[in-house]
């Protein structure tokens, strides 16, 4: 096994341990999970903190998410593409929130300034302008907002939203099909 493959195997073993135990696991447990000798951990990374840092960096790497987005077929029906994007976002946020909860704020996700531009650029390749009625950036931010909110335990404590419910909200809204904006009567506001 090359040094890079060994480091990768260690990180593959560290991420589930972090998810399950936070940082409360021993290097011996990690070595057993990775199927290597404990000394190999230290030769590969130096110390436990370096392993934790590299595992967090790997977990938050946006490239697997982008690769999955690129795997969506642009020729599929629009609603199927939106459903898949919502599912990927939902899975990503649920995983990130669970991972961060397990770490109890010990580690923070790395900051990446170009992340929005890159995933929105992928969306622009998935959807033709005639498929949607809003700019692609707005669609991306709507989908991200819904998926993030639906992944937050305090928000979903009384109702866990399915992807189909989120899809229906995005594609049909909350008004009957025959309603128009002129049919909406605003409620008068109470004065304090």
Domain extents in the chain: 3-59, 63-174
Q: What is the pLDDT of residues 129-172, one digit of tens each?
A: 899 999 999 999 999 999 999 888 777 778 888 999 999 999 98
pLDDT tens-digit map of 21-65? 888 899 999 999 999 999 999 999 999 989 988 998 898 889 999
State the chain's maximal CA–CA distance in angstroms. 72
d(CA 145, CA 89): 9
**CATH of region 3-59:** 1.10.10.60
pLDDT at 192: 54
pLDDT at 117: 85
Q: What are φ and ψ of residue 186, in 5° steps?
A: -70, 145
């Amino acid at each position: 096994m090359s040094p890079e493959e060994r480091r990768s195997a260690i990180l593959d073993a560290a991420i589930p341990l972090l998810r399950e135990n936070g940082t409360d696991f021993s290097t011996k447990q990690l070595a057993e999970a990775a199927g290597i000798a404990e000394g190999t951990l230290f030769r590969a990374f130096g110390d436990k903190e370096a392993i934790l840092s590299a595992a967090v960096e790997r977990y938050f790497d946006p490239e697997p998410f982008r690769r999955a987005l690129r795997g969506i077929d642009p020729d599929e029906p629009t609603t199927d593409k939106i459903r898949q994007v919502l599912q990927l976002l939902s899975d990503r946020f649920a995983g990130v929130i669970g991972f961060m909860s397990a770490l109890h704020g010990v580690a923070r996700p790395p900051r990446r300034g170009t992340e929005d531009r890159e995933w929105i650029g992928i969306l622009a390749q998935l959807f033709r302008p005639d498929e949607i009625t809003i700019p692609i950036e707005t669609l991306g931010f709507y989908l991200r907002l819904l998926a993030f909110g639906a992944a937050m335990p305090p928000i979903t404590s009384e109702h866990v939203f399915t992807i189909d419910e989120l899809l229906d909200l995005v594609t049909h809204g909350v008004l009957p099909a025959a309603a128009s904006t002129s049919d909406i009567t605003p409620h008068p506001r109470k004065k304090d």
